[in-house]
Amino acid sequence: MTNLGNCVRCGKLFLKIRDICQDCYQKQEDNFVLVNDYLRNHKNGTIQEVSEETGVSIAQIRQFILAKRIQVNYFPNLTYPCDTCGSQIKEGKNCQSCMVTINELSKQVEKSLVKEEKTTSHAYKTRM
Q: Which residues bind Zn ion (CB under 5 A)?
A: 7, 9-10, 12, 21, 24, 82, 84-85, 87, 95, 98
- 117: helix, coil or strand? helix
Considering the complex, what minimum distance in angstroms separates the CB of residue 85 from Zn ion? 3
- Closest to Zn ion by CB, 70 or 95: 95
Considering the complex, what minimum distance in angstroms separates the CB of residue 31 from Zn ion? 13
CA angle 74, 95, 92 (to 5 degrees): 55
| Separation between Cα atoms, residue 39 and residue 124, nearest integer Å | 65
For residue 13, the surrounding DSSP H or E stretch is: strand 13-15
Considering the complex, what minimum distance in angstroms separates the CB of residue 7 from Zn ion? 3
